[in-house]
Each structure stands twice: as structure tokens, then as C-alpha cells.
Chains A and B, each alone.
Chain A
Amino acid sequence: MNTKNADAIIVGAGWAGTIMAKELTEAGLSVILLERGKEHTTAVEGAYPDSIDELRGAVRKRLFQNLAKTTVTIRNTIDQTALPYRQLAAFLPGEGVGGAGLHWSGVHFRADPNDLRLRSAMEERYGKKFIPKDMNLQDYGVTYEELEPFFDKAEKVFGTSGTAYTVKGKVMGDGNVFAPDRSSDFPLPAMKDTFSASTFRKAAKDAGYHPYSLPAANASQPYTNPYGCQMGPCNFCGYCSGYDCYLYSKASPNVNILPALRQDKRFKIIANAHVLRVDLDGSKTKATGVTYLDTTTQKETSLKADLVILSAFQFHNVHLMLLSGIGKPYDPVKNTGTIGRNFVYQTITTSRVWLPENSYTNQFVGAGGVGVAIDDFNSMNFDHGPLGFVGGSPVWVNQAGMKPIAAALGTGGHGTPRWGAGYKDALVDTYKHSLAIDAHGSNMAYRDVYLDLDPTWKDAYGLPLLRMTFTWKDNDIRMNQYVVNKIAPIARAMGATKVSLNHLEFGQPFDTRHYQTTHLGGGAIMGDNPQTSALNRYLQSWDVSNVFVIGSNAFPQGMGYNPTGTVAALAYWSAHHIRTIYLKSPGPMVQA
């Protein structure tokens, strides 16, 4: 094809897109990376002191998706009318170069081996009947052992700080006893514990649990990654989550990959390029390129390439597949099709612990990835037999830096005043003396929880919005309640004067008005069966073999851990097989 604009076109300049661009340019391909948002430069808009501004940052949502252009509609059940998500609240996708990888916190996990083959592992231990009928529990089609070199590579690129438990089978130190074996240690030692985290560590240990330092892509020391990109040591300023790190201490595509990538003549990045569709040939089995709109000139451009990589945010990947006619849309009634199937979230609740008045938790001190966790109730690390649910939650103190507007908006409720004099007393006490403990749980996939195109609402470009059908299910509520109840004794051992346990209630619908997490998943999942997955184990579309779809859209169910580490490893895994297999012989890498 001599008319092509590039060998590969990549959609979305977050972690997945920049990793794929780096790998493919290394393989000698010319790459155009399209990003619908604008360029983001730490040295300009992310610089101190303007970046240390809660109103401009997390509150007015400087780095997040502009819903005025495009959003989703949401409903809880299949018989409801979905309504537009008009104001950002429950989840906060990114926009612009760096994507959500610019404003993320930095918790950087490897997936638990059992979570990657959860149906098989649960059936082996508890029998087939243990899995509820309407739960679409599935394996990823790739194992931890296969992904290990790519988890390792991602940690070295991100400059991840942590404490290993075992390296090549040898116990190294005070790491997570439930963590799988590693081929090498973390590139940097663990971050220090905040006072809140060290208090939790001691109490959890005394209670017989196994506390460990959260693996953090916040640099505990100066670091230069394999691409020659440099990070400075984190000073716990507390402006990770929702911000671009002014110290270059939090890993981001902008700090850890793009400085190297931009040097490469085979690489070109185009910002303000909103991709409208992947163009397919008449057979609908081959992509010819993509069509995008330049949002500054309103001009539409079609680019041709041999290979198309979708690496936008989870649900934007699914949206683009549906708009482009890649694969068959999922139909929950007939239980056919795969695009939109297994849409998942995470089941997260935050409880609060108050310490005595002579203990100041200094909640403004922190880093997005820093903290102490226990995995005793995560994944399959405990006996589910008598409990009757699938899934689990790590429990942690992750003091990311609590700012005053967020603290003020969150104080009150549950029968306590949300304004007036009593409110101010509670706000001051809570800000100075309390800390948060999260149950950061998994969320399973169900037949009637899915993504499709909305019949009514359109985006600014005249295209139908994506529709989410999602609510909490009893399995995940039971899991959440079980794990949250384990927090109370730990809190008492921490010396709590008051504890507010927060868990989901049965029958409580998903509420779009309050932030829960941006860890959305599924909708275009990987697997070993084209009837139940959109992508094969290399994240290649079963239906259009020159399209790869990289992101948490590939997760068959929501894991308890934060997704970015697994997204990055899957990107490196997919890229490795594109480089070593696909490019030599383009076509399906797994026969359907």
C-alpha cells in the first residue's frame, strides 16, 4: 500500500497509546498518534505554584474529559431510560496528551494470578455450581507467568517504588506475602509511610494480617528509566490525584515515555484530533485507517495505515468499535455479540477513623500511590466457601493528599449536619484528626450489565452517545459488606475515638453523583472464545485482525487492584506479539 499515511495509527495518547507507539517505532514502524484533547506541558500549565490550586485542578476539572463535547448516558436497569452524565462526578476520564495517565494517582499493581483466570480458579476450588448463573465470570486467556516480563518492564519504565516479597523464589523483605513471584525487585525502594499508614500497618500486623507498602509509581528516589526519561524524588506535596506532578515524580506518559518518543522521526503526534470512526473495507474484516475531526479547524481527515491501535479510555474504545462496526454488538436478551459485553466497575467504599485530639493526621501530606494495604481479603486469598460470593478487596490507608474543598464538600451526611455551626465543628475535627480506610474491591460481570449505543442523545459531532447499563449486584454488595466489617477491629486497635464504616446496602442503585472511581473496565474483553470475547489473548480484534484494542476494556471482570499496572503490562504483551509474530505474517494470531 503506497498511499498510506503511516504504518500504524494509534488512537489515544494515554499510557496504552504511548507504550504502543514506543514499541512500534522501536520495531521500525512509522506511527501517527491521534489525541482528541490538547497538549499538556508540565513546564507550563503543570508548574509550581499554579498547579497547587485545588479550585483550578480537581474542582474545575482542568485535566478531565470535557463532557460538553461527548459523554455517556447511564441507567441502572435494562427497562429504564438512560439519562446523560451531564456533570463529571462518579468517574473522571482524562483528556489531552497523557490521558488519565497524567492525572492518575500512581498506585501500580501487578494483577493477582488468580484474578487473571478467575473462572477456572474458582471452579477448581469451589466447583462449577459456586458461580451464579447470570455472572459472566471469565478467564483473561493469559496467565501471570506469561505476563510477568511485561509487568517487570512496565515497573522499570514507570520507576515504581515498592518492597518485593519474593524475587525468583527467594524471600526478599517485608513485601506482600500474597504477591506472586517476581523476576526482579522493584526499581525503587518503597515510599515512606505517612503517620496514618504507619498506624494502620501496626494495627493490621497486631491483628494477624499482612500489611505491605502499596507499589507506587511515585519516585522514592531520583530515577532514570530505560528510555532515558528522568524522575525527581517525590516530596509528598499531595497533588497527584487530579493533577500533573510539578516535580516530575509521578509517572505519566508525558514524563516517562513521550520525551523519548518525540525524538523519533518515525513518530508523529496530532493533538485536538477527535477520531470519529475506524474505516473498514467492504468485507468489514480489515481496517483501512481512521477518520478524525480536527477540533480546532472542524476539518475532517481520513488517514490510511496497515495497523490501527485503539488505546483511548476504556469506554471510548468500546464506543469507537460500536460506531465503526467492528465486531457484533452485545445483545443481553439474546446473549449474543461481544462488543459492550462484560462492562464492569469496582466496588469501593471509604470508611473513616478518628484518632484522639492530640493526634494530627496532616491529611494534606501524601502521594497518590503511597500507603499501606492488606490483601488478606483480596482475590482468592481467603475462604469463599462459606461466604457465597466471588471477589474481594484489598483494604488500605492511601493518604493521597486531602485538600480543603474536597474535605469540606465531603463532611456531613449520615445524620450529621452538612452546613451551619455543627458542621464547622465536625469539619475541623475531621480534617485535623481523621484518616480514611478504603475497601477497594472487585466487581463481577453480569449478563444485564453492558454498554451499547444510546437511541436518543448525541455528541457534539452528531454521533450517538455510549449508553451504560450498570448497577450494584448482591454478590458484590455481600463482598463489600464482609470486607468492610473487617475494618472495625483494626480501627479500634489504631486507637480510634470514632469510626464511620461505609458499605453498600442491598438494593442501593449505582449513584452517578458521587465520585467512586475511574477504574471502569470491560466492554471489549479479551479471552479464548470469540463467542464471549471481543479480543483474543493478544488484544487483537477477533473480527478485524489489523485492529488491536488496548486498555482496561480488555478486563473480563473488575479486579480489586488498580488497573493501570495491568493495562501497561497488557500493552507491552500485545506489542511484543505484534513485533514478533504479527508483523511477520499479518492476520489473526489465534484462529477463531
Chain B
Amino acid sequence: MVKPDPTSTPKPRFTLPRRSVTSALLGTTAFWLTQPSTSVSRALAHEAAEAPYKPEFFTAEEYSFLTAATERLFPKDHNGPGATELGVPEFIDRQMQTPYGVGDNWYMSAPFQEGPANLGYQLPLVPRALYRRGIAALEQYVLQHYGKNFAALSAQTQDTILTALEGGSIQLHDIPGRTFFEQLRTNTLEGAFSDPLYGGNHNLGGWLMLGFPGARADFMDWVNQEGAAYPLPPVSISGQTA
């Protein structure tokens, strides 16, 4: 007798981000417009730049935490744009609406039992639940200790709190601060450096910083150029270039 799969959960609908559709159109403008029109291109670019992203999973309060915290983790500096400019909060919100958001390839069968850290993640929480409960508990902690929400604090205080989370000295109810921090750091860096298709890495800013050429994927003549820098800027899957 086969038992039903205890881990199955309704899968959220995967929707292609609207912005990525716009980017895709931009990237392939030269191919799909019979008569390339700069005004059409400009209008699309304008729409892409101006339309503010409305989070679907996160509440406005949660999203303002996410925006502030990811910018501290990956700040704008002389190397290039930070998390906000790259669209990292948008990326994370979109990821929560994919199978990843419900931990579709995590083993989530009970019993759940804590153990040594080196034996890995043992919480009964998928990414959506980690964020929902983690942000609520952290904002409660911040309000108690500082009398404001996280986003209203100075950058220096925000860094102090993030450092404490990373070091494990803040417990977010049933979530160790370190676990929450690692989830946030991982998703932040994914958003900075994944293909713009997923809503982050706006204008390929993450890849430009690193000199990563994106989907070029053909380096036959660049196997060994004795240490010269690769000359071409990145291109995305949809054909967007920087």
C-alpha cells in the first residue's frame, strides 16, 4: 500500500514577471519590429523604468523591511548598484510565488527535531513561512529595542541588527536569527546576480560589476588570452544588453 505523499502542497501558480516580458520585448526589438521605431523602444523602456513593482506575497510593511535590509546586505557603492536599484526585493517577492517559495524540493516530513548545526536545516518552515514569521518577529524585536520599524532606523543601526542576526545573538521566536539571516542573504545575492528574467539584476547591473558576460556562452577564442579581460558586456537570456 502506498501512502499519499505527505509533502505535497498546492503549488502556487508560476507567472512570468511582467517586467521580464517588457525586457524580452526590448531585447528583441530589432527582430520583431518590421521597421525599428525608436519611439516604441523608448516608450517600452520608459514603462519598464517607471512602473513601480507591487509586491504580491509581501505586505507593504514586510516589503519595506525587505527593501531596507537587502540594501544593507548589498549596498550601492563605488562598485555599482545596490539591492534596491537591482530590483532584489522584487526578485524575492516573485520567488515566493514559484514552487521554491513553498520549498517544493525540500524534505519537509515530520518529525522536526533540532540538532547540531552541521547536520543542516531542520525547521518545519518553507521560505514563505520563514519570511512571514521571521520579519514579524524581527520587527517586534526592533520596535521593543529601538522604538521604530527597521526601515526607519539609521544604516548603522540596521547593520548592528543584521550583524547580530548573522552572529546568532537574536532569536526570532522559533527561528534562529542566523537561519533567517542566511535565507535573506542567499535570496539577496540570487536577486543581484540571476538573469533579469526573474525580476532582479536590473539593467544587468550585477553582471556588469563582475565582468560576467551572461548568456554569451561561447568562449572558443577566449579560452586563454593570457590574462586579458573579456571585452564584451553581458547579454541576458531575453537578449537585453548593457
Contact = CB atoms under 8 A, between A and B. Distances in A.
A85 B109 contact: no
A509 B118 contact: yes
Contacts of B121: 86-87, 513
A541 interface: no
B210 A407 contact: yes
Interface in B194-242: 194-195, 197-198, 206-207, 209-215, 217-220, 222-230, 237
Interface string A55-84: 100011100101111010011100011111
B138 to A, nearest CB: 16
B105 A88 contact: yes
B189 interface: yes
A511 interface: yes
Interface stretch (B43-51, B53-61, B69-77, B128-136): B69-77
B105 A68 contact: yes
B34 to A, nearest CB: 24
A140 B120 CA distance: 34
A114 interface: no
B49 to A, nearest CB: 23
B157 interface: no
Interface residues of A, number: 78
A425 interface: yes
Interface in A356-396: 358-362, 364-365
Contacts of A68: 5, 7-8, 103-108
Nearest to A61: B105
Interface in B101-116: 103-109, 111, 113, 115-116
Interface string B16-42: 000000000000000000000000000
A576 B218 CA distance: 40
Contact of A419 (B3, B74, B215, B237): B74
A355 B227 CA distance: 9
Given A55-B190, A55-B198, A87-B121, A237 B209 contact: no
A39 interface: no
Contact of B219 (A50, A61, A69, A365): A365
Nearest to A360: B229
Given A237-B217, A365-B223, A404-B206, A83 B190 contact: no
Contact of B224 (A53, A194, A408): A194
B129 to A, nearest CB: 14
B171 interface: no
Given A86-B108, A236-B220, A512 B118 contact: yes
B120 A235 contact: no
Nearest to B6: A460
B122 interface: yes
A293 B223 CA distance: 47
B194 to A, nearest CB: 4
Interface string A298-327: 101000000000000000000000000000
Contacts of B209: 424, 428
A291 to B, nearest CB: 11
A420 B218 contact: no
Interface string B154-194: 00000100100010000000000000000001101110111
A37 interface: no
A428 B109 contact: no
Nearest to B104: A68
Contacts of A425: 79
A459 to B, nearest CB: 8
A364 B216 CA distance: 10
Contact of B111 (A192, A239, A456, A509): A456
A275 to B, nearest CB: 13
A353 to B, nearest CB: 13
Contacts of A462: 1-3
Contacts of A355: 227
Q: How large is the interface on B (under 10, 10 to 19, 20 to 34, 35 or more residues)?
A: 35 or more
A457 interface: yes
A364 B120 contact: no
A405 B7 contact: no
Contacts of A195: 223-227
A364 B185 contact: no
Interface string A227-244: 000000001111100000
A432 B211 contact: yes
A361 B1 CA distance: 56
Contacts of B189: 405, 408-409
A325 B5 CA distance: 24
A364 B222 CA distance: 10
Nearest to A246: B217
Which of B5, B103, B212, B237 has the most CB atoms of chain A within a 10 A radius of its CB? B212
B177 to A, nearest CB: 14
Nearest to A359: B227
A50 B24 CA distance: 13
A235 B106 contact: no
Nearest to B217: A237
A273 to B, nearest CB: 13
A198 B223 CA distance: 10
B115 A81 contact: yes
Given A68-B108, A83-B119, A511-B118, A428 B210 contact: yes
Given A235-B220, A404-B207, A420 B159 contact: yes
B92 to A, nearest CB: 12
Interface string A80-114: 11111111110000000000000000000000000
Contact of A59 (B190, B211, B222): B190
B207 A236 contact: no
Given A81-B113, A86-B122, A355-B227, A238 B210 contact: no
Contacts of A38: none
A126 interface: no
Nearest to A50: B237
B118 A293 contact: no
A510 interface: yes
A298 B237 CA distance: 37
Nearest to A51: B217
B192 A408 contact: yes
Given A405-B189, A424-B75, A431 B211 contact: yes
A89 B119 CA distance: 11
Contact of A360 (B119, B198, B228): B228
A355 B226 CA distance: 12
A87 B219 contact: no
Given A193-B224, A198-B224, A405-B193, A362 B229 contact: yes
Nearest to B190: A405
Interface in A165-198: 192-195, 198
Contacts of B214: 52
A331 interface: no
Interface in A417-445: 418-421, 424-425, 427-428, 431-432
Given A55-B198, A76-B116, A432-B210, 14 more contacts: A49-B237, A66-B104, A76-B118, A80-B115, A246-B217, A355-B227, A360-B227, A404-B210, A419-B73, A419-B74, A424-B75, A424-B77, A457-B109, A513-B120
8 contacts: A67-B105, A68-B105, A193-B224, A195-B227, A237-B219, A404-B193, A432-B229, A513-B118
9 pairs of A and B residues whose beta carbons are closest in the complex:
A404-B193, A359-B227, A237-B217, A55-B194, A408-B189, A462-B3, A511-B118, A360-B229, A67-B107
